Structure 1
Amino acid sequence: MDRRSFLKNAGLGAGAAAAATTLAAPAIAQATKDMVIVSTWPRDMPGLGIPAQRLAARIGELTEGRINVQYFAAGERVGAFDSFDEVASGNAQAYIGADYYWKGKHPAWAYFTAVPFGLTYAEMDAWIQYRGGQELWDELADGYGLQNFAAGNTGVQMGGWFNKEIETADDLKGLKMRIPGLGGDVMAKLGASPVSLPGGQIYENLVSGAIDATEWVGPFNDFFMKFYEAAKYYYYPGMHEPGSMLALGCNKSWLTSLSKGDQAIIAAACAEENGKTMAETNANNGVYLDKLIKEHGVELRKFSDEVYDAFGEASEAVFAETVQHSDLAARTHESFANARSEVGRWMLLADTGYTQQRNRVLGITI
């Protein structure tokens, strides 16, 4: 797939309304509800844009047209980072994106995508569904007139693309890196200059030298972005996003105007896509990592223990500042940290313990 085919609509431009796609025709005109969904992802972007479009289409399909869905990719109606305000104001009914983009409004938003040294996909699902995460998310979102649902996950992300080797923490000093969320705050503690850019603007900034490095997602997503044209060193594992949860954020007044059945359908469609996006990512990452290495000469690198220890110290400093923001931020961090410890201990015994032994016996290596 040509990178330009999914980035062509990423910027704001004239005729945006014409780019909207009506995904479900009303079954009974008098009974329909319009649902405008705006996204933080470019149209047809593999791994993020396509799942967002799939979720939008699924809502229309499952409601048999009772909800008339119009989906706008980033830049087709509003800019990627304007999606939150568009929905909170009621100008659109929902956004699909990553909630850590809104940490400037309240730092607790970061926890509902990913935070440094945070939760993996399985741990995040456990926290959200059974360890109080959804209730805290609801409390946070309600303050902005929203109701949010888990609607995708990208798993443990790569550490990022760098135009030089990162051997010690000192190599991060002065580095201009695209990295949002609390992960960006960690990099700032280590002397880097974090930059927040929507997906559609990363490539040109990396190629031009405006940034020296970028994180994005993983091999499946990153392959189509062609970052390898500007940065050859591909580092793992990413400390900043170990299980990045994506979200459908609905205008709550609009959502509660629907029947209970249609509200349940939206929740079910999100739960379905939450699993699908993760499965699609896991199915493709290994394939595209091979392509990056064998076809484009990408050099895979692992962060040293020294660098990771520096990440850890900086993360604790960031968390110490975050909990001072408000009672809600403190309670969110405490709940997250408890889940990380208690669920994480089980995952270490079960999943990690098993996969390490299985891979050792079968000789499965990177």
Structure 2
Amino acid sequence: MDRRSFIRGGALAGAGAAALASPAVAQERITWRMVTTWPKNFPGLGVGAQRMADRITAASGGRLTVQVYAAGEMVPPLQSLDAVIDGTAEMSHGAAYYWQNKSTALSYFTGVPYGMTSSELAAWVQHLGGQELWDEVYDQFGVQGFLSGNTSTQAGGWFRDELTGLDSLKGVRFRTPGLGGRVWEKLGATVTNMAAGEIFQALQSGALDAAEFVGPYNDLALGFYQVAKNYYFPSFVEPGLATELVVDKAKFQALPDDLQAIVRDVCQAEYDTVSADFIANDPRALK
């Protein structure tokens, strides 16, 4: 065999070995839809949902691409969890206490009166059995929840009229959700829940006398101060309020292990990032 034939033959053999070493099938690319309860580009929360989707997409190298649908773009905001349960979407971004009509226990994974601060809630869920209890509740619906953000201590709400005592709460039409809302009902208020984008119009029209949403950062953006002039802070019902990412459990468990880890790790990162965002911007907005 001459020298050129040997070199040419070796090159072909090397190319063949390289081809055999390459994966036979390209890695699957998956696109998931995330519906949210928040308006598009809403400070802290809507921005956080979009950032979470972008982080998952980037960290997975596009193998798991998350497309975000803001409140009302695919489903009404307070039907976001149902969209995951019925398969309309693979993910939802909201607050677990919005679904207390399905299980009152879900309020504990958002915030309850005189409950946990943001750091205490994270400790409970991550290290003290909270996640296991949460899984038990959501297993009934075929979904899984992860902490996805925290707004820190929330405000008590905006009221048209000054509160001078318990009697001044009688019959007040008040937007406030969760177990905290039930406390306000016991104090005499008429309580309802509605999505962020609907509250200002209800206040303006007189359908509501008071509203509580999050705190100064979000409340400034929603414009409540233009209608209701009495602001009470802090709230006794929400000392550290968490948001959640909910995923279709069967589809999540079908993901490769590394993509599952990316979703979990991005949720943890966003819990810290969103909390810092509110701690930094609430005082600015209040001023």
TM-score, length-normalised on structure 2? Answer: 0.90
AA in 1 matched with 2:145: N
AA in 1 matched with 2:223: K
Q: Equivalences for 1:1-366 in 2 at 5 Å?
A: 31-290=28-287
Alpha-carbon displacement from aligned partner over 1:303-348 (angstroms, at most 9, x marks no partner):
xxxxxxxxxxxxxxxxxxxxxxxxxxxxxxxxxxxxxxxxxxxxxx
SS at match of 1:92: coil
Give the equivalent residue in structure 2 for 1:322: none
Distance in 1 (alpha carbons) for counterparts of 2:236 and 2:98: 17
Give the equivalent residue in structure 2 for 1:323: none
Distance in 2 (alpha carbons) for counterparts of 1:65 and 1:222: 35
Between the two proteins, the alignment pairs up a number of residues equal to 263
Give the drift of 1:167.
Answer: 2.0
Distance in 2 (alpha carbons) for counterparts of 1:32 and 1:45: 29
AA in 2 matched with 1:238: S
Distance in 2 (alpha carbons) for counterparts of 1:258 and 1:274: 22
Distance in 2 (alpha carbons) for counterparts of 1:92 and 1:35: 7
AA in 2 matched with 1:38: V
Give the drift of 1:29.
Answer: 7.5
Give the equivalent residue in structure 1 for 2:17: none
Indicate conservation of the 8 Å contact 2:105/2:137, yes or no.
yes
Distance in 1 (alpha carbons) for counterparts of 2:282 and 2:274: 12
Give the drift of 1:68.
Answer: 2.0
SS at match of 1:216: coil
Give the unaligned 5+ runs of structure 1: 1-27, 291-366
Give the RMSD, CA atoms, in angstroms: 1.1
Distance in 2 (alpha carbons) for counterparts of 1:59 and 1:30: 16
Distance in 2 (alpha carbons) for counterparts of 1:273 and 1:146: 20
AA in 1 matched with 2:158: W
Distance in 1 (alpha carbons) for counterparts of 2:165 and 2:127: 39
Distance in 2 (alpha carbons) for counterparts of 1:285 and 1:236: 11
SS at match of 1:224: helix
Alpha-carbon displacement from aligned partner over 1:142-192 (angstroms, at most 9, x marks no partner):
111011110000011010000111121111111000001111111111111
Indicate conservation of the 8 Å contact 2:27/2:63, yes or no.
no
Greater RCO, CA 8 A, separation 6+: 2
Give the equivalent residue in structure 1 for 2:18: none
Instruction: Report runs of 4+ in structure 1 exceeding 6 Å deviation.
Output: none
Give the unaligned 5+ runs of structure 2: 1-24
Moved more, 238-247 or 265-274: 238-247
Distance in 2 (alpha carbons) for counterparts of 1:48 and 1:70: 16
